[in-house]
Amino acid sequence: MKIPSGLVIQDEKITKYLLVYQPKSDKSKYLALAGYNLENWELLKNDIMNAVEGSEIAKVTPSDWGTQFEVKSEWTGPNGQLIKVITIWQQDEETEFVRFITLYPDKSQET
């Protein structure tokens, strides 16, 4: 099953969460390895969208608010480093949009 269309990423998810150091479950250091920072946050947003649109869903999970989708993807960051991530999306009940929740490094293929 492919991820539905209508993907939405709120700018704040990138500028105030993913690319800002978090004491718990930080993603900014991993994204920095591929060259992402607050100065090029729009590039990260576009790269996530381009990597996920039309992708196969790895896992579907019902939640209290709708349906969550897990999508594995990879792309090359602005510094040429390959990045492998798992993104979490949610389609809230009675909406047509699928909104971005978070991402984390995909360590499933590491040796």
pLDDT digits (tens, 9 = 90+) for 18-44: 999 999 999 999 999 999 999 999 999
Reported as type and span, the H/E element at residue 42 is: helix 41-52
What residues contact residue 22 under an 8 Å CB cut-off, 6+ apart? Answer: 28
Reported as type and span, the H/E element at residue 41 is: helix 41-52
Find tokens 């105030």 and name the residue.
Answer: 16
Contact by Cβ (8 Å): 59, 69: yes
- 51-64 residue pLDDT tens: 999 999 999 999 88
Q: For residue 3, which of 65, 63, 50 has the smallest C-alpha distance?
A: 50
Q: What is the pTM of this model?
A: 0.92
Instruction: Spell out the domain ranges in the chain.
Output: 7-105
106 versus 94: the higher-pLDDT residue is: 106
